[in-house]
Amino acid sequence: MSDDYRHRTPVQVRFRDIDAFGHVNNAVVSTYVEQARVTYLRDVLGLDPVGPEDRMPLILAMIRLDYRSPIMLEDRVEIASRVDWVGRTSLHMSHRLAQQEGRELATAASVLVTYDYEAARPMPVPDDWRTSLAAHEGRSMERPQQGVQ
C-alpha cells in the first residue's frame, strides 16, 4: 500500500461475514471501514468511542465504497486510513482495503461532521485535532478549493 497512508488496521474475516455468494457481504465491508475509522481516531486523536467524557463527537455524513475484488474468508485484510482534509466542521477520510499480500479489495471515502450532541448541531473542528492530524499525516490539513481534489 502507498506510504501516504500512515495508519493501518488489520481485520480478521470471520465466517459470519460471508454471504450466500461465498464472499464478505457489502454491509460487512462498511463495518470494516467503520472499525478502521474509529481505530484511527482513537489512535491519532485519543478519542474514546464509548467513554462518557471523551466520546467521539462525530456523525458520519457520507460514505462511498468502491469494490475492486471480493473479500474471501481466507483473506488477511489490512485497511490503510488517512485524513485528507479538515474543513470548518468536517473532515474527509480515505481508506484502502487490501489483502496483506497486496491484492486491492476496495477503497472508501467518508465525511465526518464534528457534532455537539447537547446543542444538537455541528461544531467547529477543535484546533488541537487539526494540530494532531497535521502532525500525524505530515502535511497541511486544509480543505481543497471547491472543484479541486
Spell out the domains of the chain, with CATH numbers in brackets: 7-137 (3.10.129.10)
φ, ψ (nearest 5 deg) of residue 94: -125, 150
Between 2-11, 68-77, 107-116, the lowest mean confidence (pLDDT) is in 2-11
pLDDT at 145: 77
pLDDT at 1: 42
| CA gap 16, 5 in Å, rounded | 29
For residue 40, which of 79, 98, 71 has the smallest C-alpha distance? 79
Which residues face 9 on adjacent strands? Answer: 79
Between 1-5, 8-12, 123-127, 142-146, the lowest mean confidence (pLDDT) is in 1-5
* Chain mean pLDDT for the chain: 92
| CA gap 97, 6 in Å, rounded | 14
Q: What is the 3-state secondary structure (H, E, C) of 66-79?
A: EECCCCCCCCEEEE
Contacts 24+ apart (CB under 8 A), 35-38: 35/9, 35/11, 35/79, 36/7, 36/9, 36/11, 36/79, 36/81, 36/95, 37/81, 37/93, 37/95, 37/110, 37/112
| Cell numbers that stand for 69 in this block | 475484488
pLDDT of 14 > 90? The answer is yes
β strands within the chain, DSSP E: 7-12, 58-67, 76-86, 90-99, 104-116, 121-122
Average pLDDT of the residues in 125-142 = 96
Angle, helices 127-137/26-45, rounded to nearest 10 degrees: 100
